[in-house]
């Protein structure tokens, strides 16, 4: 049985990965978080079957990876056979305002984790969870492959690229069993209200205006390959399963890409249609006023597809299911992820696990 350390377990993508693991494997999890403005343990306790079946399979460690993993924390973590490193600061706007915060979280934090990982015996894999943004903007018709050059447009992207290169250097220098994944724009349940899906749902519900990223002419909206967090979790589990079957994934990179490209205006109107209300919107040239925002990202997902991976749900199914879930759980559209509240929550949670 695997026992896996999942950093960022209470983050948006992290908790979906945890749910996928708990539902589809017999693994035990060690979840690590520093508890910040983008995380909340309510994501975990809100999962169906959490209290009845899942809680006993998860140990929670409260630790800020900007500090090294000391012997006390290492002892609390215990033996692990794999690491999924999803903990990161991810918001582009905040990275532009506070780049050093992102260097500390995404570069220093990753280095501290890697230094800890290379002391472990029996470690089978370390996944560094990266982003499409390391490649920079994609011209029409271009989709970046896993090993294409990087050209980060903002500090967030640069720090993710830095962490990724550190991870790969530990593979080359120390033989750490690293594999890397790039993921595009992820959506799903329990996302921070500042993100596009919940923000659009809120705008449609309350009749407020939504501002949509566009080109300088304000006629062409930005586009992405959106992918549901549940499909991301399925892709990660698929890759680990390939490893278990003797397939080579260590030292390689894999793109986890949504099934189809959609521009943000089309997406916003589709969301509003499921909400059942009209949408007020303006196309805004964010890039000219705020350098660092890119109009289009695109990754090539052929590699994972050729390995036999198929998404459990289509984009349309995932979109409808996600919007309907938010309409039934509107408290998540107004969530206040205040740090002090959830530091106390983490301490209470950890205390119950002793």
Give the per-residue pLDDT at 288.
64
Q: Are 169 and 239 in contact (CB under 8 A)?
A: no
Tell me the pTM: 0.91
Residues 99 and 79: their CA atoms lie apart, in Å, by 34
133 is catalytic: yes
Summarize pLDDT for 158-168 with one digit per residue, the tens. Answer: 999 999 999 99
Q: In the structure, what pLDDT confidence band is assigned to residue 345 with cuts at 50, 70 and 90?
A: very low
Which entry of 132, 189, 259, 263 is annotated as an active-site residue? 132
User: Tens digits of per-residue pLDDT, 98-137?
Assistant: 999 999 999 999 999 999 999 999 999 999 999 999 999 9
DSSP H helices, the chain, are 12-24, 42-45, 71-77, 92-97, 99-102, 109-117, 155-174, 196-206, 229-244, 264-275, 286-289, 302-306, 315-328, 339-353
Residue 303, Cα to own-chain centre: how many angstroms? Answer: 20
- β-strand partners of 221: 214
Contact 275, 205 (CB under 8 A): yes
Tell me the pLDDT band of 291, cut-offs 50, 70 and 90.
low
Is 156 catalytic? The answer is yes
Structural domains of the chain ordered from first start: 3-353 (3.40.50.720)
pLDDT digits (tens, 9 = 90+) for 16-38: 999 999 999 999 999 999 987 67
- State whether residue 92 is helix, strand or coil: helix
Q: Which helix (H) or strand (E) holds 284?
A: strand 280-284
What crossing angle do the helices spanning 315-328 and 196-206 adopt, rounded to 10°? 50
- Is 350 in contact with 60 (CB distance < 8 Å)? yes
Q: Residue 179 — very low, low, confident or very high, per pLDDT cuts 50/70/90?
A: very high
252 is catalytic: no
How many C-beta atoms lie closer than 10 Å to residue 304's C-beta? 21
Q: Which of 156, 171, 226, 297 is catalytic?
A: 156
Of the pLDDT bands very low, low, confident and very high (cuts 50, 70, 90), residue 335 is: low
CA distance linking residue 208 with residue 211, whole number of Å: 10
């Amino acid at each position: 049985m695997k026992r896996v350390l999942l950093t960022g377990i209470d983050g948006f993508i992290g908790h979906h990965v945890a749910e996928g693991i708990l539902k589809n494997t017999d693994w035990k999890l060690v979840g690590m978080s520093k508890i910040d403005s983008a995380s909340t343990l309510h994501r975990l306790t809100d999962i169906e079957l959490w209290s009845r079946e899942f809680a006993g399979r998860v140990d929670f460690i409260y630790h800020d990876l900007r500090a090294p993993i000391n012997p006390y924390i290492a002892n609390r973590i215990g033996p692990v056979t794999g690491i999924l490193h999803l903990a990161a600061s991810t918001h582009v706007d905040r990275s532009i305002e506070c780049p050093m915060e992102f260097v500390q979280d995404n570069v220093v934090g990753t280095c501290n984790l890697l230094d800890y990982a290379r002391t472990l015996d029996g470690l089978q894999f370390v996944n560094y969870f990266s982003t499409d943004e390391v490649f920079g903007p994609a011209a029409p018709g271009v989709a970046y492959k896993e090993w294409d050059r990087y050209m980060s447009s903002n500090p967030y992207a640069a720090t993710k690229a830095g962490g990724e290169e550190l991870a790969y250097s530990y593979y080359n220098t120390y033989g750490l069993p690293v594999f890397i994944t790039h993921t595009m724009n992820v959506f799903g349940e329990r996302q921070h209200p500042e993100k596009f899906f919940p923000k659009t749902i809120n705008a449609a519900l309350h009749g407020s205006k939504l501002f949509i990223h566009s080109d300088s002419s304000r006629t062409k909206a930005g586009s992405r390959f959106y992918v549901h967090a549940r499909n991301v979790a399925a892709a990660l589990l698929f890759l680990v399963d390939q490893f278990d079957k003797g397939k080579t994934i260590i030292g390689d990179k894999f793109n986890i890409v949504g099934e189809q490209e959609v521009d943000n205006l089309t997406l916003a109107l589709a969301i509003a249609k499921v909400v059942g209300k009209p949408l007020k919107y303006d196309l805004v040239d964010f890039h000219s006023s705020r350098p660092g925002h890119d109009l289009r990202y695109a990754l090539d997902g052929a590699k994972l597809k050729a390995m036999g991976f198929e998404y459990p749900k289509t984009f349309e199914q995932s979109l409808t299911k996600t919007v309907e879930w938010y309409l039934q759980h509107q408290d998540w559209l107004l969530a206040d992820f205040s740090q002090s509240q959830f530091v106390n929550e983490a301490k209470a949670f950890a205390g119950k696990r002793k």
